[in-house]
Protein backbone atom coordinates (compact mmCIF):
# COMPACT_ATOMS: atom_id res chain seq x y z
CA UNK A 1 0.00 0.00 0.00
CA UNK A 2 1.10 3.53 -0.65
CA UNK A 3 -0.23 7.05 -0.83
CA UNK A 4 -2.00 7.99 -4.02
CA UNK A 5 -0.12 10.36 -6.31
CA UNK A 6 -1.23 12.41 -9.28
CA UNK A 7 0.51 9.90 -11.55
CA UNK A 8 -2.02 7.31 -10.39
CA UNK A 9 -4.76 8.99 -12.45
CA UNK A 10 -4.61 6.46 -15.29
CA UNK A 11 -4.54 3.51 -12.89
CA UNK A 12 -7.41 4.97 -10.89
CA UNK A 13 -9.50 5.41 -14.04
CA UNK A 14 -8.80 1.82 -15.10
CA UNK A 15 -9.68 0.56 -11.60
CA UNK A 16 -13.06 2.30 -11.50
CA UNK A 17 -13.87 1.30 -15.10
CA UNK A 18 -13.60 -2.37 -14.12
CA UNK A 19 -15.89 -2.16 -11.09
CA UNK A 20 -19.42 -3.49 -11.49
CA UNK A 21 -22.39 -1.12 -11.61
CA UNK A 22 -23.48 -2.48 -8.20
CA UNK A 23 -20.06 -1.74 -6.70
CA UNK A 24 -20.11 1.77 -8.19
CA UNK A 25 -23.61 2.24 -6.77
CA UNK A 26 -22.43 1.13 -3.31
CA UNK A 27 -19.41 3.44 -3.50
CA UNK A 28 -21.07 6.60 -4.89
CA UNK A 29 -24.71 5.92 -3.91
CA UNK A 30 -25.96 6.86 -7.36
CA UNK A 31 -26.41 4.69 -10.45
CA UNK A 32 -23.33 5.13 -12.62
CA UNK A 33 -22.42 3.07 -15.66
CA UNK A 34 -18.98 4.74 -15.42
CA UNK A 35 -17.38 7.37 -13.21
CA UNK A 36 -18.05 10.80 -14.75
CA UNK A 37 -15.12 13.18 -15.30
CA UNK A 38 -16.27 15.57 -12.55
CA UNK A 39 -16.13 12.84 -9.89
CA UNK A 40 -12.93 11.40 -11.31
CA UNK A 41 -11.24 14.82 -11.11
CA UNK A 42 -12.13 15.05 -7.41
CA UNK A 43 -10.77 11.54 -6.78
CA UNK A 44 -7.45 12.53 -8.33
CA UNK A 45 -7.20 15.82 -6.44
CA UNK A 46 -5.16 14.52 -3.49
CA UNK A 47 -2.97 16.91 -1.52
CA UNK A 48 -1.66 14.76 1.35
CA UNK A 49 -3.54 16.68 4.05
CA UNK A 50 -7.06 17.84 3.14
CA UNK A 51 -7.56 14.88 0.79
CA UNK A 52 -5.49 11.74 1.29
CA UNK A 53 -5.76 8.65 -0.87
CA UNK A 54 -4.21 5.23 -0.26
CA UNK A 55 -3.96 2.69 -3.07
CA UNK A 56 -3.08 -1.02 -3.14
CA UNK A 57 -1.49 -2.65 -6.16
CA UNK A 58 -1.22 -6.28 -7.21
CA UNK A 59 2.11 -7.89 -8.16
CA UNK A 60 1.72 -6.57 -11.73
CA UNK A 61 1.25 -2.98 -10.55
CA UNK A 62 -2.50 -2.92 -11.19
CA UNK A 63 -4.59 -0.92 -8.73
CA UNK A 64 -6.83 -3.28 -6.73
CA UNK A 65 -8.11 -1.06 -3.92
CA UNK A 66 -8.40 2.58 -2.92
CA UNK A 67 -9.31 4.31 0.31
CA UNK A 68 -9.41 8.00 1.06
CA UNK A 69 -10.52 10.67 3.39
CA UNK A 70 -11.55 14.22 2.59
CA UNK A 71 -11.48 16.72 5.42
CA UNK A 72 -14.84 18.36 6.17
CA UNK A 73 -15.08 21.98 5.02
CA UNK A 74 -16.55 23.13 8.33
CA UNK A 75 -14.23 21.14 10.65
CA UNK A 76 -10.48 20.69 10.51
CA UNK A 77 -10.71 17.60 12.74
CA UNK A 78 -13.42 15.62 10.94
CA UNK A 79 -13.26 13.85 7.58
CA UNK A 80 -15.41 11.64 5.38
CA UNK A 81 -13.85 8.37 4.25
CA UNK A 82 -14.50 6.05 1.32
CA UNK A 83 -13.22 2.63 0.29
CA UNK A 84 -13.35 0.51 -2.86
CA UNK A 85 -11.96 -2.98 -3.38
CA UNK A 86 -11.83 -4.75 -6.75
CA UNK A 87 -14.25 -7.68 -6.91
CA UNK A 88 -11.54 -10.35 -7.15
CA UNK A 89 -9.72 -9.07 -4.06
CA UNK A 90 -12.50 -9.11 -1.47
CA UNK A 91 -12.61 -11.35 1.57
CA UNK A 92 -8.85 -11.52 2.17
CA UNK A 93 -8.44 -8.71 4.71
CA UNK A 94 -7.50 -6.00 2.23
CA UNK A 95 -10.39 -3.73 3.26
CA UNK A 96 -9.34 -3.98 6.91
CA UNK A 97 -5.74 -3.12 6.03
CA UNK A 98 -6.80 -0.20 3.85
CA UNK A 99 -9.05 1.22 6.56
CA UNK A 100 -6.36 0.91 9.23
CA UNK A 101 -3.94 2.71 6.92
CA UNK A 102 -6.37 5.54 6.19
CA UNK A 103 -7.11 5.87 9.92
CA UNK A 104 -3.37 6.14 10.63
CA UNK A 105 -2.91 8.81 7.96
CA UNK A 106 -5.91 10.71 9.30
CA UNK A 107 -4.51 10.65 12.84
CA UNK A 108 -1.11 11.90 11.63
CA UNK A 109 -2.88 14.85 9.99
CA UNK A 110 -4.94 15.80 13.04
CA UNK A 111 -8.22 14.17 12.08
CA UNK A 112 -10.10 13.13 15.22
CA UNK A 113 -13.29 11.74 13.66
CA UNK A 114 -13.81 9.70 10.50
CA UNK A 115 -17.33 9.22 9.15
CA UNK A 116 -19.18 7.91 6.11
CA UNK A 117 -22.69 7.48 4.81
CA UNK A 118 -23.21 3.88 3.71
CA UNK A 119 -26.17 2.24 2.04
CA UNK A 120 -28.15 0.26 4.63
CA UNK A 121 -27.98 -2.76 2.29
CA UNK A 122 -24.14 -2.68 2.14
CA UNK A 123 -23.70 -5.58 4.57
CA UNK A 124 -19.97 -6.04 3.95
CA UNK A 125 -19.14 -2.41 4.73
CA UNK A 126 -21.36 -2.44 7.81
CA UNK A 127 -19.63 -5.63 9.02
CA UNK A 128 -16.21 -4.06 8.45
CA UNK A 129 -17.27 -0.92 10.31
CA UNK A 130 -18.45 -2.99 13.30
CA UNK A 131 -15.18 -4.94 13.31
CA UNK A 132 -13.15 -1.70 13.32
CA UNK A 133 -15.17 -0.06 16.09
CA UNK A 134 -17.28 2.42 14.14
CA UNK A 135 -20.56 3.54 15.64
CA UNK A 136 -23.40 2.74 13.26
CA UNK A 137 -26.55 4.81 13.44
CA UNK A 138 -29.56 5.71 11.36
CA UNK A 139 -28.90 8.58 8.99
CA UNK A 140 -31.46 11.25 9.94
CA UNK A 141 -31.42 12.71 6.42
CA UNK A 142 -31.69 9.49 4.41
CA UNK A 143 -33.50 6.34 5.60
CA UNK A 144 -31.67 4.27 2.96
CA UNK A 145 -28.31 5.03 4.59
CA UNK A 146 -26.46 4.35 7.80
CA UNK A 147 -24.02 6.79 9.33
CA UNK A 148 -20.65 5.35 10.36
CA UNK A 149 -18.58 7.36 12.82
CA UNK A 150 -15.36 6.65 14.70
CA UNK A 151 -13.41 8.86 17.04
CA UNK A 152 -9.70 8.40 16.45
CA UNK A 153 -7.02 9.02 19.02
CA UNK A 154 -5.63 12.50 18.69
CA UNK A 155 -1.91 13.04 18.10
CA UNK A 156 -1.67 14.22 21.74
CA UNK A 157 -3.35 11.03 22.98
CA UNK A 158 -0.98 8.95 20.84
CA UNK A 159 2.05 10.71 22.35
CA UNK A 160 0.72 10.24 25.88
CA UNK A 161 0.14 6.52 25.27
CA UNK A 162 3.68 5.98 23.94
pLDDT digits (tens, 9 = 90+) for 14-71: 888 888 888 888 888 887 777 777 887 888 888 888 999 999 999 998 899 999 999 9
The C-alpha atoms of residue 64 and residue 86 are separated, in whole angstroms, by 5
pLDDT confidence band for 86 (50 / 70 / 90):
very high
The neighbour count for residue 70, using CB atoms within 10 Å, is: 18
**Confidence label for 110 from pLDDT (cuts 50, 70 and 90):** very high
- C-alpha span between 155 and 28 (Å, rounded): 31
Amino acid sequence: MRKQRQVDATSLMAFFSELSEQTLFSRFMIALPTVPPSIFERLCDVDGNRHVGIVALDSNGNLIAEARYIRDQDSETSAEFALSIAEGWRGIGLATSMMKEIETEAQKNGIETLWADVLAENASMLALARKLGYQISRNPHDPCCKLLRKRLSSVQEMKEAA
